[in-house]
Structure 1
């Protein structure tokens, strides 16, 4: 074997002597390759190590050199010749990562000379030595003419000892290496660099004060075969040490292989993650700078540009992508047959294209167009029976609509609505427009949250609002779009036929909030069949300035309701002389005035009134539990002698009969709790004075539901014109 290496080395030297002009031209080519492959040196060396069957690749600096090791198949004389020649390789495309025979030439840009030790082979490459052999001082390539022997005995001895101790088969010594350039290259290596390699499981590199170790290990029990798809999970561990500061990271990666295509994504909490658009790179076994336009990394035998950093979208690349298109087509076929397994759906979720994203540097719609063409060529895939989920609707209500229309639901947890709609709508799936939505809303009832979501969508989106206004009134009147005071969802037609059916005031107030000062909410209520007389007048009052500017007959009717209310209602007096006030049944001690003094500087002023309220409840015989800090919609729970609990919200007034503010949370909670939600009113004319009166309003929501008004200045709820039996508070 030694003789064959010697013979090959001499043969290459003699060839160079006979072709000095060509050798000089090759020097220029080598320089071009070194400059083009800048920051890709380690990628090329790792690729070569993987191609020769290595499972381990080590590299580290030693004095002024960087030494590279792998445990793959040792060099043959043919391998030596391939290394020396340009664009001459025994590797076959498809069976190896590299096939051009030029990648290793990139090291010429980061060192002055190279030694190679592999099995019985021992040669070195030196421009100076080559010039001596050729008896010329013109330019010569570094990696073209091998020289027998050793260039640096110290480095060679060290390398041989390391190879024996660590069972390495091949070693390259990069003499007088530019470690700064290699460090930039090293920092680009990450967990994706090893995921698609066929053989390498360990990459360990240490240069100066920076080291990085990347290891891939198969997770036992994760290898699965689903039809023609092979799935496995890897744990990729990355250890980095910079200036003796160490960090370790572990990532779980899932890989699906289908024919000549590999798909990869990260796994978090046992679920594959749809990658962000700018994190999903194409890989020609090693990472490229080209994004896939999908939610996953895609590996294949793609053509690359001269720098080996980007995918070249040539015919070979497009032919390779046919396997990816066939994979997506197969998953869609199983989806239509309702045979798609959960793990297949997870894969499909990662393969849905991002909207307007260039795919493999081709057109944004390339994959969708190819799949659409395959669908047109056959009758296996029909997506019209699937209803797309709109962004404004939650999954529970979406499934109700799909069921009502006898559609198949189609939704993905991680795919943005724009990407999901763009892809599946282009393939024939049904989009939920306003006309379709109203047709389905006449057949089913959404949850309260779903109803509010629908209204929010049409009031926020001017296009949806325009579509609604153009739809036939009969269809609109039959859509179940109103939440009534009894909690039932009804259509405008149904409410108009039921004398006692009234819309929920809180629901209606939320619609008016969404519409702001415009009449849109009121107009839509009527458009959906709600009788004008069923629209709460207190809400119409908030938009009456807009109503008075209109010539609409509907708006005129609304104004008549407002005027009628103003003429007929009788306001309860809001001064102490007209408010019902009784003698006190509760007497507080003079020492209880200390309750009004803050315990510390940060205690809010309203806290003192809450403490007075607790004292009042205690005197009344209740056991009081303070829950004011829990944000549950009330301040205290008061337990009576029978163990019944009552939820107490405390409100401070400055005068008898004064309006008081209610938060949306308090209103919703009072409605849910019902008769055991009480309001405790305490009158304190000024911060310096002692409280003068108190009153308890029991079953607050049902008692004063109609007395709550939403004021458009800040869109907050106030309770006014209420009846309360105030009693005096006396501090003795």
Structure 2
């Protein structure tokens, strides 16, 4: 019987403590430290123990300053009493339970010095006052959770017995009573309690909490299907759903909205060791495993075991994303995972370790399926050109089988909305002008092309050729593809002569992008007569006034070119004001946000709607600068949309250097000077402005 065990343990432990008073004092200090360390984690411990005991229903209530936590799980055994009394001696293994150390219950001493436990129809207590009297030691020098004291029914307050009796009627088998508890502290814990506490538990399906007018209730339904598990949690009047995918002793949790995977809130995105820790993952999802944690279970211990489990977690996510890119069915159900991985949202130590493992998987492996069934790594994948809209690119792939074979299958395009943004994290390669020229040398491609797109393609080709006409290196590398260029132009010439309707429409639309000067240069370069063909629908006055609808230096969202600014206009301006002026002169919609401490100074939107985030630095001829931790984090968050704008202002010249995605394109050295990031060697796109 439990009564006999309690009396035997009590006698043995009293004798042990009297023989080792110094050890008893040390235990009291350790208990105090652990209780203070847990802060707002008492409910976590109680839930863990209840789930270990196979409880399906837990309840927390208060009555006359006493706090009651009841569960309907397994009753206390002899081993359980020994485990809870002798910290760390639990026979439970890490593989079998959450609270395998048998130390976490000491956290509850932070809210009460007098704890009564009712289980197997038996009362026993852990009391600092009774312990001090039994050991004849000072009150502050004895622990609470060490010596269990069997309690006769007659010694229990009537009020406590009445509450216990009511809880027994509701089917509860074990009840913890915290006498004269710090109820305000527990109320604070209930305030932050959410569905995340129950997602990775195995047994609890109902939980009710009511303390000092603070009330919350949870109903948990678990539906299992192979390695998939759907968790529905009714929380007060809301229903929250999560998808749990389990593999290799790791659970991945994805929030659902109408059965679609969506990002969870940033405060939900934490590592779990069954219950939530305080360590961020860095991406809006949850990861649960048997991570090693500190005694309070607040933080992961980044030892060999935890890092091993992080590697497994990263590999599991990579394998899921690979399935999404390889399978139409998986892309429909799990395509939302890709969007969760677009932006890292935390940069603490645990999230950085995990993120590095995750990125390593995507960089080193092949996971992108092409239309032609080939599987390639992201470095080999060619993205659509920046200046081409998604709808226009789809028209191009419809007209060209060769282009279509170089990109992902249509099911990826349909089911994963931001797949290109994700691939962009690992690839800079794009379908270029030369690729498009080769396609346009095919009369069948040209004939099947949408007319508006055809004019845009040739407009951009002509524009780019004209812009780079003096750059021999670029011309040789990209445009020195004479046969395709000539054949492309011949095909459009044939098409214009052949079809009068296309002739008129094409001729009209191409001036959205180019001027007659560009046509003259093309004719001279290739001995053609395109200007005459394309302007045949206009009279001489109209030809003289033909100008592109969009200024050519804004067409592709290029950086500033050939800008001239007077010295007086910038003499008294700050570096941020100069950058803002240059952005606006380039036609971008820009605003100064330097006062908001966002990690950048200027927000700028290009003509195609792309946002850019510019951190402005004033530099001198030493070519060195620093960035702060806040700026470093912002650069991580915005990746290729983040720019450094370095402004070197001398008496007669202004040199502005734009560096895109600086963390990946230049080298920084961390120096201990208020944790700034130092760079003394960089290379970017210069804009030299004569003053």
The TM tier, using the shorter chain, reads 0.5 to 0.7
2:307 corresponding residue in structure 1? 318
2:126 corresponding residue in structure 1? 125
Give the secondary structure class of the aligned counterpart of 1:195.
coil
Give the secondary structure class of the aligned counterpart of 2:351.
coil
Q: Is the 8 A contact 2:321 2:338 kept in 1?
A: no
Unpaired runs of at least 5, structure 1: 240-247, 482-489, 548-732
User: 2:203 is matched with which residue: 191, 195, 199?
Assistant: 199
Q: Is the 8 A contact 1:236 1:250 kept in 2?
A: yes
Q: Is the 8 A contact 2:511 2:546 kept in 1?
A: no
Q: Is the 8 A contact 2:200 2:275 kept in 1?
A: yes
2: CA distance, partners of 1:111 / 1:311: 28
Q: Deviation per CA, 1:208-251, whole angstroms, max 9, x where unpaired?
A: 111001111135xxx433xxxx1122221001xxxxxxxx1112
2:31 corresponding residue in structure 1? 30
2: CA distance, partners of 1:63 / 1:519: 90
Following TM superposition, by how much is the alpha carbon of 1:527 offset from its aligned partner in structure 2, in angstroms?
10
2: CA distance, partners of 1:43 / 1:510: 64
2: CA distance, partners of 1:459 / 1:166: 81
User: Which sits farther off after the overlay, 63-72 or 528-537?
Assistant: 528-537
Q: Is the 8 A contact 1:438 1:475 kept in 2?
A: no
Unpaired runs of at least 5, structure 2: 368-373, 552-691
Give the secondary structure class of the aligned counterpart of 1:97.
coil
1:472 corresponding residue in structure 2? 480
Give the secondary structure class of the aligned counterpart of 1:167.
coil
Following TM superposition, by how much is the alpha carbon of 1:127 offset from its aligned partner in structure 2, in angstroms?
1.2
User: 1:147 is matched with which residue: 122, 146, 149?
Assistant: 149
Q: Is the 8 A contact 2:456 2:510 kept in 1?
A: no
Give the secondary structure class of the aligned counterpart of 2:18.
helix
Q: Note if 1:190 corresponds to 2:187.
A: no
Following TM superposition, by how much is the alpha carbon of 1:360 offset from its aligned partner in structure 2, in angstroms?
3.5
1: CA distance, partners of 2:200 / 2:29: 33
2: CA distance, partners of 1:76 / 1:459: 84
Following TM superposition, by how much is the alpha carbon of 1:306 offset from its aligned partner in structure 2, in angstroms?
3.9
User: 2:230 is matched with which residue: 228, 233, 253?
Assistant: 233
Q: Is the 8 A contact 2:365 2:377 kept in 1?
A: no
User: 1:421 is matched with which residue: 418, 421, 424?
Assistant: 424
User: 1:281 is matched with which residue: 270, 274, 279?
Assistant: 270
Q: 1:29 to 1:543 in 2, by over 3 A?
A: same
RMSD: 4.4
Q: Deviation per CA, 1:403-457, whole angstroms, max 9, x where unpaired?
A: 523235155635475444225x49xxx6545554555566656656867997999
2:360 corresponding residue in structure 1? 369
Could you tell me the TM-score, scaled by structure 2's length?
A: 0.63
2: CA distance, partners of 1:526 / 1:35: 83
Q: Is the 8 A contact 2:451 2:505 kept in 1?
A: no
Give the secondary structure class of the aligned counterpart of 2:355.
coil
User: Which sits farther off after the overlay, 277-286 or 451-460?
Assistant: 451-460
Q: 1:134 to 1:364 in 2, by over 3 A?
A: same
Give the secondary structure class of the aligned counterpart of 2:353.
coil
1: CA distance, partners of 2:400 / 2:147: 72
Q: Note if 1:383 corresponds to 2:374.
A: no
Following TM superposition, by how much is the alpha carbon of 1:65 offset from its aligned partner in structure 2, in angstroms?
1.3
Give the secondary structure class of the aligned counterpart of 1:211.
strand
User: Which sits farther off after the overlay, 440-449 or 318-327?
Assistant: 440-449
Q: 1:446 to 1:135 in 2, by over 3 A?
A: farther
Could you tell me the TM-score, scaled by structure 1's length?
A: 0.60
| Aligned ranges 1:281-360 → 2 under 5 Å | 281-328=270-317, 330-331=319-320, 341-342=330-331, 345-346=334-335, 349=338, 352=341, 354=343, 358=347, 360=351
Q: 1:72 to 1:493 in 2, by over 3 A?
A: farther
Q: 1:341 to 1:308 in 2, by over 3 A?
A: same
Following TM superposition, by how much is the alpha carbon of 1:270 offset from its aligned partner in structure 2, in angstroms?
2.5
2: CA distance, partners of 1:322 / 1:292: 13
Following TM superposition, by how much is the alpha carbon of 1:474 offset from its aligned partner in structure 2, in angstroms?
4.2
Q: Deviation per CA, 1:498-543, whole angstroms, max 9, x where unpaired?
A: 584134577446547xx9xx99999999999993453677597376
Give the secondary structure class of the aligned counterpart of 2:504.
coil
Following TM superposition, by how much is the alpha carbon of 1:6 offset from its aligned partner in structure 2, in angstroms?
1.9
Give the secondary structure class of the aligned counterpart of 1:290.
strand
2: CA distance, partners of 1:60 / 1:320: 37
User: Which sits farther off after the overlay, 7-16 or 277-286?
Assistant: 277-286
1: CA distance, partners of 2:88 / 2:462: 65
Q: Deviation per CA, 1:660-691, whole angstroms, max 9, x where unpaired?
A: xxxxxxxxxxxxxxxxxxxxxxxxxxxxxxxx
Q: Note if 1:215 corresponds to 2:219.
A: yes
2: CA distance, partners of 1:41 / 1:296: 25
1:168 corresponding residue in structure 2? 172
Following TM superposition, by how much is the alpha carbon of 1:90 offset from its aligned partner in structure 2, in angstroms?
2.0
1:249 corresponding residue in structure 2? 238
2: CA distance, partners of 1:413 / 1:420: 12
Following TM superposition, by how much is the alpha carbon of 1:93 offset from its aligned partner in structure 2, in angstroms?
1.0
2: CA distance, partners of 1:27 / 1:459: 82
**Structure with higher helix content:** 2
1: CA distance, partners of 2:492 / 2:26: 86
Size of the aligned set, in residue pairs, is 511
1: CA distance, partners of 2:333 / 2:254: 14
